[in-house]
Structures are given as structure tokens and as C-alpha cells.
Amino acid sequence: METKYISQSGIEQWFNAIITSGKRVYAPVNSRGQIDFKLVKNLNEVSSEYIQTTQSIKASVYPKAEVLFSYEKVNGKVNLTDFDPESVPETVMWKVHPCDAAGFKPLSAIFNWDGADKLHNAHLAKTSLVSFSCASADESCFCTSVNGSPGNTAGSDIQLTMLPDGGAIAEILTSRGGELAALLPSVFEADKGVKKEKYLVDLPARFSLEEVNTKLSKAFNSTVWKEQSERCIGCGACAFVCPTCACFDIQEDVHGSKGRRIRCWDACGFAMFTLHTSGHNPREHQSQRWRQRILHKFSYMPERLGVVGCTGCGRCSRACPVDMNILEHITSIAQQ
Amino acid sequence: MEKIRERAATLLAEGVVTLVLGYEEGTKRPRPLFCRNSESARKLIFDSRCIHNLAVYLTKKELVGKDRFAVIAPIATLRSIMQLYVENQLSEDKLLVLTVDPSGELRELVTFEDIAGYVEQFELKRGEREQEILSKIDEMSREERWKFWMEEMSHCFKCYACRSACPLCYCSKCVVEVNRPQWINPWPAPLANMEWHINRAMHMVGRCTACGACGDACPVGIPIDLITRKMMEDMAPEFGYIPGQPAKKGNALSTWKLDDREQFIR
Amino acid sequence: MSSNTDFEPKIIAFVCNWCTYAGADLTGTSRLKYATNVKIVRFPCTGRIDFLLLLKSFAQGADGIIVSGCHPNDCHYTSGNFHARRRWIAFRSILDLMGVDIRRIQYSWVSAAEGSKWADLVNHTVADIRSLGPYQEYQKIADYLEKGGYHGED
Amino acid sequence: MSEKNTYLPYLMTIEKITKEAPGVKTFRLKFQDEAEAATFEFQAGQFGEYSAFGEGESTFCIASSPTRNGYIECTFRDTGRVTSGLSSLEEGSTMGFRGPYGNVFPMDEWKGKNLLFIAGGIALPPMRCLIWNALDLRENFRDITIVYGARTVKDLVYKSELKEWEERPDVRMVTTVDPGGETPDWKGEVGFVPTVVEKVAPSAENTIAIVCGPPVMIKFTFPVLEKLGFRDDQIYTTLENRMKCGVGKCGRCNVGKLYVCKDGPVFSKEELNLIPAEEY
Amino acid sequence: MSKIGVFICHCGENISATVDVERVAREVGGMEGVAHAIDYKYMCSDPGQTFIKEAVKKYNLDGVVVGACSPRMHEPTFRRACAEAGLNPYLCEMANLREHCSWVHEKSEETTEKAIDLVKMLVQKVKKNKPLDSIKVPVTKRALVIGGGIAGIQASLDIANTGHKVILVERDPSIGGHMSQLSETFPTLDCSQCILTPRMVEVAQHPNIKLYTYAELESLEGFIGNFTAKIRLKAKSVDYSTCTGCGACIQKCPVKKIPSEFNAGLGTRTAIYVPFPQAVPNKPVIDRVNCNYYKRGACKICEKTCQVGSIQWDREDEIVTEEVGAVVLATGFDVKGADFFPEYGYGKYKDVLTGLQFERMASASGPTFGEIRRPSDGVIPKKIVFIACAGSRDPAKGIPYCSKICCMYTAKHAMLYQHKVHDGESTVFYMDIRAGGKNYEEFVRRAIEEDTVNYVRGRVARVYEKDGKLIVKGVDTLLGGQQVEIEADMVVLATAGVANCGSEQLAQKLHVSYDPYHFFAEAHPKLKPVETNTAGIFLAGACQAPKDIPETVGMASGAAVKVAALFSNDELVREPLVAVVNRLAPPLYSTCVGCFMCETACPYNAIEHEDIRGRDGSLIKTIAKVNEGLCQGCGTCVAFCRSKSIDIQGYTHEQVYAEVMSLLND
């Protein structure tokens, strides 16, 4: 845990040192009009003009589709090949927002709440987060309402707070962050004593989590779910851009006698998600599915896992084709 | 705008309809509004920014209920409604269509014929964005097209917003959810994504009305609407249809002509 | 792409029972020889042939595909082949738009009396696909997960 | 890092296949790895994820009793891709199994009590595990009554065991089929399970009722039990929500704040009252 | 399904010569789910079938794959064998190792590997097969016969005499067909009309036959045992219920110069007419194309003449609907006309006739009352040339086939000429003389030897007119290609027999196949000569290929027996290879969403609407339902259905998917 100063050129040198070390570096890149994390080799590929990437960094520790294990049928027998944690390459997620980094906690809570998830943990072990605190926000951002802040360091290994001179305050937060800094220690200069708060965007809280929690505990039968969800078209955009949504499906990829069991993203908003083979569907209507999404994040997760399932990144509101604005909806529940 | 509010309020107050589907001001742009009483009709707005295709809700029984309802439908929505009629998904006695013609007059269209007659006046044209991307694609070699789409497809994470936003994707169990056999792998991966989009385009041949809802909905910005639009533009003359005007019976792939032309069957 | 003399293309043929399957039977009865690369899957009618089967074929490693049925007007079911013709017009156009190599799908009408046409069709298609080479471009994406490239998106 | 991969199944050999009813089969499975077999333990009420390699996984309870060592059994109906894939396997084939998952019936708490088992159709398997468990520890319990019903005589599963239970002097066995489902030589009851329960149930005093069956049967049996004087903490059931992972991560079986796969599948009616009934 | 038995046939050496059959059996035997795999010399033989039956029982097989010849040959054989052993016949599939493999490839590793792949493919398919039950459909015991020539007449009478109702449809105003136009018939030279007209009358009077003349089939829908025929009754403009057939109208009709079809254009008829004196029915129709009233709006002389007021000017075409269980196609043939023989001057020179015209001329009821006279001047020709194979066997004319009857009727014509013109001189140019048939060769010999007909083997290059004579220029190939030139008074062309006009359209209406010359195609050239590929539709006579009267009559009786055999059942057993719309438990009931686009795709109108209602009777949804009687199993709807709600038994999604996957996965 130490705070350092890194100059503009220092940042670039350090970045290059990370690349040279052979680690894969993902950073926000502007391509096809979208800002998203992509594999980068050069600092100048990294985009600066944006509020939020379309997708979260969830995929780095919870890939969209991954092989749980593979198998081969030989003469009536089955040979299994386990997932190999060593196959996961060392990865650095560069220029992560605090709300993204904060997402790893709830994500891991789900994957490890009772029985460790080997795959997720293998990815976690190989992934380092270099977060950048936020100097700007938009109307969809609400991290401050969900225990976060523009300078929240939770989940980050190193956090940079950009300064007007192009340099940054570098908070080395974890030992993994230390290792990362150690790739080029010379650029990490002594802390200049600047307070990072001055360079953070001011984002007042919009609701109180406790209040929301209290309201939600009594809201299961409320009409609010139906009212809010009427326009929801039941796609999975919100879940897939969310840094904490972890619902998944297990599927089979078969090629003759060889096959793989695959885990892939799923969403509680899909109509078929809970459908029984018998045809019975416990969450038959979209309103029930919307309720599940909200209650799971803001009520069930805090109660069962001790962590709120939302980091206030606002991606779901931005991605929603029909403007299901989570901030608006949560605020209105809080005010009921 | 005022006219729409008034009319919607009247329709609701008089009990002619139990629901008016329209638009309200959203957080960034207008969004769909379900008006169930004359009071909420005051929230209704209608202008050129209202581009959601509300026809997508018309096939959701739990939302529209059993009684008669009204929908505010710009031209793109009207085309979808026509196609839904052709596909036996709507009945004339349940639906009242409100639209605003180019002169700003509020029009009420009751029958399928009314809608068809009205829609006929409007030619389906490419917008600037469509024109730009499609002409770019036109100039590509096959290999470049493949690269272009593979890059686009690599972003698809199968949220199915395209399917959910499309008024014509009303199947209760989509082919991607059919697992005997599992035609299209359900996980997001370039091939499975590609298969899904080719499949979607095939299912839209002769049906797509180029409303663009799928493209608008795509959270990762894949111009998927252009696949089905291009198909519609290319296939309509091939099979003798006018783009944007649904066939009265059947569709391009459920019908045929003796003299359908092709040069590739030997 | 010309160094493929050792390359034996995998070709799958989707044919209707009444014309092309019978035509291929006639090829046999007439003892006409053709390449072994093509394997026939029998359908009642070209109208039954699902476009998804063609897509799956490429995904599973086919280098080429033959789709063949009754000549126009000769369909045992009167119009299955007309439906199929439209379906292929549209399908071909979509594939082309997406950049799929449509030269790898050979559509044909082979009647029950055209045993020699079937042999020719097979031999020509095998030669064509041989010169195009393996369809690696497509198979590469089919194997995507195998390459372990599912970490983020690269 | 030698962390265990939760999703990696045990390899099992199908030792025996019993055809129970049209489309319904029971598999007896043996661990291929003896070390795994030696350390494997489970209790009545638990379930597992069974996999047909090439098709995927499906969730069923373990239908054999934990008192019977060396194997596990499962009973399933051929309804979907996986169950049909499993159904096509033969004796000697290999399949996969993950588990045991979920909670258990509190049999220790039931010592000295009467047990009333009520099962319908294909929901007998979870009960079968419990019944055999109770019968193998017969001295722990007082009267045991089993009410089992199916749509038709053909649909009754575990026919030979039904006969065995019927013949035991220490079990009161009542089988019933829905009206119209009887055959000419049918000697059991004719009527819906709830009706039959009302007729044959023992006194609620010191009795635990365990109900397993299709939602509609459960819906109509609970009020009957209530009428007979059963309190909510005397009534147990198992839920069968859709599951994928079995270990509380995939999100499907989340009902209210509970996860059927972790907090269940066994619930007393008292516990069920805490979660929204519409979601299971 | 996974106790599959695999049986590999050597087919003598037909398969084993190029395919290592032992290896095929061995490799397939190692597949998952294959319980038993053997090879044997002749699987289709009794011992071979016994192997299958015994294995089904011994290994408790739930699927059988026979790797042998084309399933089009022996699928029924092996399915029956399985059924006899207690296995549902639809759990048996065939891999085509002969026609699709051993016969088309050289002996090689690849050939054996392909054979293995083909068998594996069918093993994967059969694993997904489901037991199917045959479909039973009722039979409407009423036949439709299309065409009232001798074929149709014979078929109608034969069917009617078995006690079943027949509807006979004839395009012309009278039945009789080409046979009624003939003078005498070879090889007996008995009078054609004398033997035909009693049959025509019998048809008219038969209580089981309903006759529609001047009528055409409008449409035929349905399937074997259950067809619905719509028949257009062309407006005759005469009320047959009152018309007495007195003929007064015909005599008064002012339009008299219409070339008579019956007389092949040699004579004329009136606008209101009976085609020939013995016509059945013997009542007139008005030819609206030529009638003055219909052309110009005035005349109506016939109406004035008619004592009973039978003329009905406003009569319109009428469509009647008949339910029938079987159809006999007996639409006959046509002969090539004028523009086809410019080199022979047909159509240009009046005295160049077709064989059919000569028949009319030689007929006692013909335009010349049986005298052979030149159409140009009425003079009896002293020198006559017959040209056989006019068009037939001439690939350049697009008719490579032999019209079969010309050799015989040309001999007959020459003979008749010699009998009628004793000092006449007749020459026949021929390519070959094809006189196969009882007493046929003798008949030709008689013409040559007794009636001194001059037979010249060679082709006629050209016929042209010079000084009132027809110069026939040809080559005598028997004389070493010597040029022959004959000055003839008359030339008769034995023109090719071709498919009747409109046969192509009719075939499409009926869903039957036809050959490149538009003759209807039989289901099998040897073993199913009277059946078509469409069950319940049979062929009789020259609509299948040119043939003579005894053959036609024989075929007609054959078709009649097929119909009678069909009608001997109260219900028919059909292959259950039909489409099915899935049904699921509530609340979905089916994945079908009722867009009914399949309705427009189905060639057989087999898609119906099914309402699904709740307990209270309220409509939950309307889904598609396949009428399994109408469905023919083409599967177009299956490939078309977006939600995969329709599947087709025997070629289900799972089955074909498994096949494709097996071929491509190593």
C-alpha cells in the first residue's frame, strides 16, 4: 500500500514495460464507434474520450464462453481432460474504472460462496487491474449510491488518478500491484502529496442502499414490477454488459466422439431461463424476471453474500434498447 | 402532439380501448409508454425521435390483454403491423392504429386495408447511415466482407436484443432454443454468432420491413439491421415485391413462381 | 491455392429421393465412375433441405456441398423444388453478403434419368473444390473455442 | 494449484437398467474410480447432476438409499435432449455424475415419529431414497404409511418394490391411480392422491408427512393435510426447479432469497412459507 | 435406440468386388450402440433375411441398418423382415453400398472407407428413428377415367363391371377417340367402328358409368383413395335432357365449311355438330368459335329449327366436383401435323396426307365413303407412296423413339389401297419393319407377297411437286444406296405418334411425372407399367407411349384391375412419412405460433388450423395441424418453419442432423 507519482512519460514507459513482460494488456479502444476493452500493444491505441466502455471487464475473469472440461469417448469409455489453470495467460486490464474493479467482489462472491470455482479463480489469479479514477461521469453513473466512488480502490491492484500535468497519482494497492510496478520501478516517483479527491468527479448519491433494501424486503408483491417492466422486451443486454451479473448456462459442444462442456453467459431476463422441461415456468412473465433482477442484486445478494450486486456503472441503462433506466427505477422504489 | 394526447385520453376515457401504446420522454430519448388511463395520456409525446417499433409489443398477450387497444404507429411500425396481420398474429377488431401523416394530421386506421392503403404512399428509402455502410460493403471483395462481418460478429454476446426488439420475432421458442438437435450453439462465439445472424436473415426473407429496430437495439453496435434490409432490397425485385410492402398472402419463401430466375443451378 | 493436389475435399450431397437419388442410382446401374469424395444424404425432396444443414456442414468441416433435386416441373411433390429454388436464391445472397464462399455450394437439377449428369456433377464439383482448397477460413472460426481465445476478445 | 473443478463429473458405469414405466428408467451407477467410491457419501433428499456425454447434464435426485453402499440409483423420464441421451445408454456404458448436492431430510429429528409418505407419478424417486432409508432404520420410526399414486397403472414406477412394501407387515402401503387409469385387475385405490390421503392418513399427532409430486398434486395435498391437523413444521416436500450448476451459481433455481440447489431441495412447509410460492 | 444391428451385403460380388465388406462390418461393429454387425453374400435372400430376423430377437435390437443396394430396391424387403421379427419396420434403414458406392468407384481403400461412412451415417440416423405406425385412410370406391378413347372405354367398362362407379371424362363431344377414326384394324382387317361402337354404347348405358363428354379436368386434389376432382363441363349450348338427337339443327346450320376434326381435316362439318354418325352421346354441341351467333351475335337458325327448344345460348361452363378414390389416365396420343414435315411437302401439297387422314379416306364412313381419291382433284391415285418413320426415330426432329404402330398401319394402308385400287401401284419407304406381335409379321408379308406392295428400304429425302405429280426422292439402301425417284399421285406419311397436346399441363395438375416427350411416366418401366409415381393414379394406353389397340386394351384392363384391387379395401394403409406439428404440455401447447406461412408453402393444402382451447372453452391459440391424409411427406413445410415446430417422420430434424454430423465428424 503505497502512493507514488508517475509522470506522463513514466506512464508510457511503464505501459511498454508491461507489454514487454509478455502479459496481455486489454484497454479501452475506440473501434467501430464503440469503446470496449481490446488487446492493445501501444498506449496510443487506448481511448481517452469516453465515460464508460460498452461492456464491463467481467469477461476477463468470467469469459463469455469457456470450456469447463473436455472429454473423448474411446471404446465405450470416457476420458476426461480437466480445465488447466496454467492455460490462462497473465493479463492486465488497463484503464479500468473503479466501478468495474469493484465488480470483481460480487462476482467472486457468487462463484465462491460455497465451493470454490476453479475456473473463475484461475482467471482471477492471472488478472491484474490497473484502474483509473474517474474525473467525469454521466447521468447514468451512480457508483456513489452503491458503496462506490469515483476514486474507489476496491478490486484494483494499482489505481492511477490523472493529474493536469499528464502524470498521475499511483496508488499501489496490492502485492500484485507491487509486482506490476516492479516491472519498471524507476518511473514510480515519490508521492507529491497531492490529494486525489480534487481530481475526482463530484457525484452525489442518488439513493440510500439501506432505504432501498428496506423497501425491497416488502416489495415482492408490489405493482411496481409490472409498471416498470412493461416496456422491457426481455433481451439480455443489461445482464451481459453488467460487471456483476453471473448467471450462466452449461452446454455441450460435440464433435463426434469428442466433446466439451461449456459454460456460457445467460441472463435471468430471458423467458426460457427458468423454464422446466414440464413446460412449467416459475418466472413466466417479464415483470417477474425484472423483479428477480432487481431483488437479486439489491436484496438477495446483500442478504446471502453480504455484497450488493451493483457497482453503479450504469451500463445497463446505457445498453437498454428501451431505456429501462436502473437508476430511475431504483430511485423510484426508494422514494415509494 | 396535443391531438394525440387528447385522442388517446378520449379513447381511454370512453372505454373504446383499454390501452394506448405510445411514447413518452425518456432519460435520453423517447421511450415506449403503456397508457392505461386518460391521465397518463398526458405523458404521451410524438415526434421524429420516436423510433421504437411498438409493434413488438402487440404479440405479447400478457401486456396488451384481451381487450381492444390502440397503438401509435409511425410508418415503420405500420409496415410491421401489416406483416403481423399477414402472419395471423393480429386481429382487426382488437387493434386501433393511430398515426400522424406528413401534414401533421392524426389518422386512425382500423382495417388492414386502411393500413395497406396508407403505407402504399410511402416509399422505403435508405437513410444516410444505411447508404454509407452498405455502399462500403458493396465495394468489398468477398474476403473483405467475411473479415468485416467476422470482426462485427466477434462483438456479439448473444443478448438477443435484436430478436427481442424485432416485431416479427414472436416465436414462443426461438430456433436457437431448440436443442433436438442443437442447430445453433447457444454460446457467443464467432461461428455461433454468425450462424445466428444468417439464420435470422433467412427467417426475415420476405418478412423484414426494414424498420431498423434490431440495429437500434444492438448494444454493441453491430449493423445487423443492414443484413435483413439488404436482403429485403435484393429479394423484393427478385420475387416481385415492393420493398416495405408486405405480400397479402404468404411470403417470399412460402410461395414461388415458375419463372423465378437464377443462374447458379446447373 | 493450386498446391492442393493431395487435398481430398470432403463433400456432402443433399439430394431428393425421387430424382437425384434415383439418378445417382442410375449412375451406379450404368457403372459410371466418379470420385469417392461425395457422400449422399437422402431427403424426400429438395423442399425438405434446411439451410441450417448447409451451414452446419461447413462448420463441421465440409469443404463443399452439393444440393440437387428434380428439374423444375418434375418435382414428385410438384413444387418442393420451386420452394427450394427460392430458398437457395435467398440463402446464396445472404451468404454472399456475409462473405461466405458461395462457390463451395453447387446446386443442380439431376433427374432420375440423368445418371451420367450425376457422375459429371460429382467429378466437376470435386475438381472445383479441390482447386479452391480446404475451407479453412470457415473452419477456423468453427474451432474458435479450441484455440483458447475466449479471454476477453482477441 | 490442485483446486477441484466442481463441474468435472465422476465417471460412472451403468450397472443395471430397469424399465419402470413407459419412458421411465432406473439406472444403477457404480463409480469407475474406487477411491472416489470409497469417499463418496450422501443423505436422503440430495440430488446430483447426471451427464450423458454428448448431450449435457440433467438434474435428478439420488433415488437409492444411503444405507445401500457401493452404488447410487437415479430414475428419470425421457423428456428432453439429455434424458433421451441417457435413455439411449446401455448397461456397461459410461455416464457422468456430479454431487451430491443440496440439503437432506432431517431424519434424525424424526426419530420416534410416524412417517406418512405421499408421492405422485415420477416424483416417487426422491421418496424412494427416503423410504428405503427409513425402512433400513425401521426401529427408529413408528408407523410408516406410503401413499403413492400415478395417472394410470402403467405409469406406476418401482412396481416390484411397491409389491415388496405392500407385503411388509411394518408398512402400510396404499397405491392409487387416477379415475380411468385403472386396469380390470387393479386391486389398489382409484382416486386422486389428495382424496386418498384424506381417506387413509394416520392421525397428525407425532406424524411427519413428506409430499413429493407434481405441483398440482402438492397444491391440493397441502390443504388436506392442514385439514387433518398437520402443522407446517410437520410437512416436508422437495422442490424441482430448473438447475444447471447444482451449486448455487448459475442463478436458475433462485426462489426468493433461497436457492433450491443449496437451501433445498428439501423444504418444510414452514420454510416454504418464507419464499414466494409463484416462483417454484 | 442403441442396440443396432448392421448387416452388410456382398450382393454376390457386386459390392464385395470393390468394397472390403468384412472391414465395413468390423469397423461399424465397433461403433457405440452397435450390438451386432455381420456381412453376408446375399442379405435379401431367405437365409440373409433370416439372419436379420434372428439377430433382432437374439440381441433385442432396436434398430437395423442394412448396407446393400439402393433402398429404392430392397427397403420394403428388409423392413418387412424386421416387422416379421417384431421390430417396427421404420427402425430399419438401408445404406446404399451398391449403386452409390461399389458400382461407381474402383476397388480402393477410399471406396471401402466411403462404404464405412455411409453405413455409419445410417447407424447414426437409425439411432434417432422412432417406431411409426402406418396411417389408415378410407377409400372412396369411385374411379375417375380421363379420356374416352378405347383405353378409357375399356378401363371404365372393366372397373364398372367389378361393381364400382366410374366417372368418364372426355374432352371431345363424343367418346371413341382415335380408334373410332380408323378404317380397318391390323392384322385382322376387321372394321374398327364395328368393334368399337358396341363398347361405346355399353359405356353410355352402363349403370355404373357416369359420362361427361365435352369436359375437361380442372383440378385434382387429395391423395390415393380420397381425390377431389373438379371437372369443367364445357358449355355445349344444347340441353341434352330435352334434345332428341334428331339432327335437324345440323342440317340447317349455315356454317358448313369447318374442317372436320373427326375426318382429320379432310371433310367439313357445321358449327352445331355431332362429330360422327355413331357418336356417343349422339347429340350435337355448338362450336362457339365458329358459330355465327357467337361470332357476330345473329343467326340462331338452329334454335328456330329445334322442335324441342334445346338450344341454350347462355349456357356457361359448369364445374362439377366429384369425389373419387382412383384415377385412370387414358388421354391417348396425337400425330404430328403440318409444319413438322416441310421436306415432305405436308401442308403444302394437298395430296401429301398423314396416316390418320388416309384412315379416314379408307373408312366407309369417311369423306370419300371409303374410296381412295386425291384430295386435290378427286382422282383415284394410281401410284401411291407410303413413307414410314415420318418423324419417328429421328433425333433431329426431337423424336428419337419408334412410334411403334406405323409399320403395321402402313402395311395395312398399302394393303387397303391395293384392295381398293386394283391396278394401283404402292411403294413403302421404310427404315426397318417392326412387326413384333401375333400375326403381325405374317400380315406384313401378306402385303408384300400377296398384295404386291413394293417395299423400299431407305429414307425419303424430299417430296416435291412437278407437273401435277409428287416426286418422291429417296435412296434404296438395299441396292447400295441407289437413288430412287418415284412419280406418285399421292404420298402418305406415317407420322410420329406424340403426346397429346396439354399432357404436360395435365401431368402437373395431377402431380404425375412425365418423360421428355411429355408422355406420362410409369412408376417402373418393367414392373409398374400402369402405375404412376403418384399413388392412386394409373395409366392406360398411348398416353404413356405410342401403342396399338390390343396393347392399349390390355393396359387399360391392367389399370382397371389395379383400381379394382385398390377398391377391394375399405381403408388404405399409407406410409407414415408425414409431417407433424409438435405438441407440448401447457402453457405452450406447441412451439407453433400460428403464422400459417406453411399453409402457403404446402403443395397439398395439408395444413389445417387447430384451435387450442382452455377448460373454459376460451381460445388460447391457433396452431397448424397437418392433415396426414393429404400430406405426402415432401417436408417443404419442415424446412420452412422458423421455430422448427413441424417435423417430418422418417426424415426428422434429429435424423438428418445426425446423418450430416456423422459424415463430417471423423
Query: How remote is the C-alpha of D114 from its chain's centroid?
Result: 19
Size (chain E), residues: 666
> Which residue is closest to B56 within chain A, CA to CA?
A233
- Look at residues B84, B119, B154 and tell me which one is the last residue of a structural domain: B119
Provide the pLDDT for residue E26.
Answer: 97
Cell, residue E458: 431407305
- Look at residues B97, B119, B141 and tell me which one is the last residue of a structural domain: B119
**Has residue D257 been placed in a domain?**
no
Query: How remote is the C-alpha of D139 from its chain's centroid?
Result: 22
Choose among A75, A257, A279: nearest Cβ to E587.
Answer: A279
**Has residue D256 been placed in a domain?**
no
Q: Inform me whether the C-beta atom of residue B180 falls under 8 Å from chain D C-beta atoms.
A: yes
Q: What is the band of D236 on the pLDDT scale with cuts at 50, 70, 90?
A: very high
> Cell numbers 380397318 correspond to what residue?
E184
- pLDDT higher than threshold 80 for residue E89: yes
The nearest CA of chain C is from the CA of B54 a distance in Å of: 27
Q: Inform me whether the C-beta atom of residue E241 falls under 8 Å from chain A C-beta atoms.
A: no
Dihedral sign, CA of E461, E466, E470, E471? negative
Provide the pLDDT for residue D2.
Answer: 58
Residues of E in contact with C45 (CB under 8 A): 634-636
Q: Do A262 and C154 touch (CB under 8 A)?
A: no
What is the DSSP code (8-state) at residue E444? H
Is the CATH code 3.50.50.60 the one for domain E334-498? yes
Size (chain B), residues: 266
Q: Inform me whether the C-beta atom of residue D273 falls under 8 Å from chain E C-beta atoms.
A: no
Query: Count of alpha carbons within 13 Å of A205, Cβ hemisphere only?
Result: 14
Q: Do D88 and E1 touch (CB under 8 A)?
A: yes
CA distance B79 to B85: 10
Against chain A, the chains showing at least 3 CB pairs within 8 Å are B, C, D, E
Peptide linkage before A63 cis (omega within 30 of 0): no
Cross-strand bridge partners of residue E574: E135
Query: How remote is the C-alpha of D129 from its chain's centroid?
Result: 6
For the residues B70-99, what does the mean pLDDT come to?
95
Both ends of chain D: CA-CA distance in Å?
39
Against chain B, the chains showing at least 3 CB pairs within 8 Å are A, C, D, E
Choose among A60, A67, A253: nearest Cβ to C152.
Answer: A60
pLDDT (tens digit, 9 = 90+) per residue, E172-216? 999 999 999 999 999 999 999 999 999 999 999 999 999 999 999
The nearest CA of chain A is from the CA of D138 a distance in Å of: 34
Query: How remote is the C-alpha of E502 from its chain's centroid?
Result: 13
For the residues B147-151, what does the mean pLDDT come to?
93
For the residues B134-140, what does the mean pLDDT come to?
96
> In a 3-state reduction of DSSP, which class is residue B1?
coil
**Has residue D220 been placed in a domain?**
yes
Provide the pLDDT for residue C92.
Answer: 97
Size (chain C), residues: 154
DSSP result, E56-125? HHHTT-SEEEEEES-HHHHHHHHHHHHHHTTS-GGGEEEEE-IIIIITTS-SSHHHHHHHHHHHHHHHHH
The nearest CA of chain A is from the CA of C8 a distance in Å of: 20
Provide the pLDDT for residue C147.
Answer: 45
Percent of chain E at pLDDT above 90? 87
Low-confidence spans in chain C with pLDDT less than 50: 1-3, 146-154
Q: What is the band of E338 on the pLDDT scale with cuts at 50, 70, 90?
A: low
For residue E98, count CB atoms less than 10 angstroms from its CB and return exposed for 0-12, middle for 13-18, buried for 19 or more: buried
Q: Inform me whether the C-beta atom of residue A258 falls under 8 Å from chain C C-beta atoms.
A: no
CA distance E373 to E319: 44
> In a 3-state reduction of DSSP, which class is residue A294?
helix
> Which residue is closest to C106 within chain B, CA to CA?
B265
CATH at D26: 2.40.30.10
Dihedral sign, CA of E521, E526, E531, E535? negative
Angle between helix B142-153 and helix C80-98 axes, rounded to 10 deg: 80
β-pair type (D114-120, D172-177): unpaired
The nearest CA of chain B is from the CA of A53 a distance in Å of: 10
The number of distinct structural domains making up chain D is: 2
Low-confidence spans in chain A with pLDDT less than 70: none
**Has residue D213 been placed in a domain?**
yes
β-pair type (D47-52, D94-101): antiparallel
Cβ-based neighbours of B189, under 8 Å, separated by 6 or more: A64, A65, C141, C144, C145, C150
Residues of A in contact with B217 (CB under 8 A): 233, 235, 237, 321
What is the homologous superfamily of the domain E142-234+317-332+500-567 according to CATH?
FAD/NAD(P)-binding domain (3.50.50.60)
Edge to edge, the sheet with strand E142-146 lists: E209-212, E165-169, E142-146, E326-329, E537-539
Q: Inform me whether the C-beta atom of residue B219 falls under 8 Å from chain A C-beta atoms.
A: yes
For the residues E273-283, what does the mean pLDDT come to?
94
Provide the pLDDT for residue E629.
Answer: 81
> Which residue is closest to E584 within chain B, CA to CA?
B173
ipTM for the predicted complex comes to: 0.95
Cell, residue E260: 372436320
Q: What CATH number does domain E4-127 carry, 3.30.70, 1.10.3470, 3.40.50, 1.20.120?
A: 3.40.50
Q: Do C60 and E70 touch (CB under 8 A)?
A: no
The number of distinct structural domains making up chain B is: 2
Q: Do C151 and A91 touch (CB under 8 A)?
A: yes
CA distance C89 to C80: 14
**Same domain for B224 and B143:** yes
Choose among A220, A276, A300: nearest Cβ to D242.
Answer: A276
Q: Which of D242, D243, D247, D255 to substitute to test the interface with A, most A CBs within 10 Å? A: D242
Choose among E100, E516, E632: nearest Cβ to C40.
Answer: E100
Dihedral sign, CA of B188, B192, B193, B197? negative
B230, B211, B112: which is closest to B168 by C-alpha? B211
What's phi and psi for E581, nearest 5 deg? -90, 130
Q: Do A114 and D262 touch (CB under 8 A)?
A: yes
> Cell numbers 506512464 correspond to what residue?
A11
- pLDDT higher than threshold 90 for residue E285: yes
Collect contacts of E161-165 with beta carbons under 8 A, ≥24 apart: E161/E208, E162/E560, E162/E564, E162/E567, E163/E208, E164/E208, E164/E563, E164/E564, E164/E567, E165/E141, E165/E208, E165/E209, E165/E210
Q: Do A39 and C154 touch (CB under 8 A)?
A: yes
**Has residue B258 been placed in a domain?**
no
Q: Do D249 and A117 touch (CB under 8 A)?
A: yes
pTM for the full model? 0.85
Against chain D, the chains showing at least 3 CB pairs within 8 Å are A, B, E
Residues of D in contact with A276 (CB under 8 A): 240-242
Q: Which of D81, D90, D94, D151 to substitute to test the interface with E, most E CBs within 10 Å? A: D90
Provide the pLDDT for residue D1.
Answer: 44
pLDDT (tens digit, 9 = 90+) per residue, A64-115? 999 999 999 998 899 999 999 998 999 999 999 999 999 999 999 999 988 8
The nearest CA of chain A is from the CA of E589 a distance in Å of: 9
Cβ-based neighbours of E458, under 8 Å, separated by 6 or more: E429, E474, E475, E476, E477, E478, E484
**Has residue D276 been placed in a domain?**
no
Q: Domain range spanning residue D232?
A: 114-238
**Has residue D254 been placed in a domain?**
no
CA distance E635 to A88: 47
Query: CATH number of the domain at C11-147, please?
Result: 3.40.50
**Has residue B132 been placed in a domain?**
yes
Choose among A80, A252, A282: nearest Cβ to D280.
Answer: A282
**Has residue B196 been placed in a domain?**
yes
Cross-strand bridge partners of residue A96: A131
Cβ-based neighbours of C51, under 8 Å, separated by 6 or more: B199, B202, C87, C91, E639
Portion 43-102 of C in contact with B at CB < 8 A: 51-52, 55-56, 59, 72-73, 79, 82-83, 85-102
For chain E, the farthest-separated pair of C-alpha atoms sits apart, in whole angstroms, at 96
Domain residue extents for chain E: 4-127, 142-234+317-332+500-567, 248-305, 334-498, 579-648
Q: What CATH number does domain E579-648 carry, 3.40.50.880, 3.30.70.20, 3.30.70.980, 1.10.3720.10?
A: 3.30.70.20
CA distance E171 to B37: 69
Q: What is the band of E587 on the pLDDT scale with cuts at 50, 70, 90?
A: confident
The nearest CA of chain C is from the CA of A242 a distance in Å of: 14
- pLDDT higher than threshold 70 for residue E659: yes
Q: Inform me whether the C-beta atom of residue E586 falls under 8 Å from chain A C-beta atoms.
A: yes
For chain B, the farthest-separated pair of C-alpha atoms sits apart, in whole angstroms, at 65
Buried b (16+ CB within 10 A) or exposed e, B75-106: bbbbbbbbbbbbbebbeeeebbbbbbeeeeeb
CATH at D209: 3.40.50.80
Buried b (16+ CB within 10 A) or exposed e, E522-545: bbeeeeebbbbbbbbbbbbbbbbb
Residues of B in contact with D84 (CB under 8 A): 180
Choose among C60, C145, C153: nearest Cβ to A67.
Answer: C145
**Same domain for D139 and D56:** no
CA distances from residue B120 to A252, A304, B75, B242, E407 in whole angstroms, order as listed: 48, 58, 10, 9, 66
CA distance A67 to A224: 40
CA distance B149 to B142: 11
Dihedral sign, CA of D75, D77, D79, D84? positive
The number of distinct structural domains making up chain A is: 1
CA distance E587 to E88: 33
For the residues D101-128, what does the mean pLDDT come to?
93
Residue type, B2: E
- Look at residues D48, D78, D101 and tell me which one is the last residue of a structural domain: D101
Cβ-based neighbours of E273, under 8 Å, separated by 6 or more: E173, E250, E253, E258, E284, E285, E287
Q: What is the band of D133 on the pLDDT scale with cuts at 50, 70, 90?
A: very high
**Same domain for D206 and D124:** yes
For residue E491, count CB atoms less than 10 angstroms from its CB and return exposed for 0-12, middle for 13-18, buried for 19 or more: buried
CA distance D141 to A104: 49
What's phi and psi for B120, nearest 5 deg? -55, -30
Against chain E, the chains showing at least 3 CB pairs within 8 Å are A, B, C, D
For the residues E63-79, what does the mean pLDDT come to?
96
Residues of A in contact with C153 (CB under 8 A): 36-39, 59
For the residues D45-49, what does the mean pLDDT come to?
96
Residues of B in contact with A240 (CB under 8 A): 157-159, 219
Q: Domain range spanning residue B171?
A: 128-239
CA distances from residue E142 to E209, E321, E327, E536, E567 in whole angstroms, order as listed: 10, 13, 9, 12, 8
Q: Inform me whether the C-beta atom of residue B23 falls under 8 Å from chain A C-beta atoms.
A: no
The nearest CA of chain E is from the CA of D237 a distance in Å of: 24
Choose among A64, A139, A249: nearest Cβ to B157.
Answer: A64
CA distance B201 to B214: 11
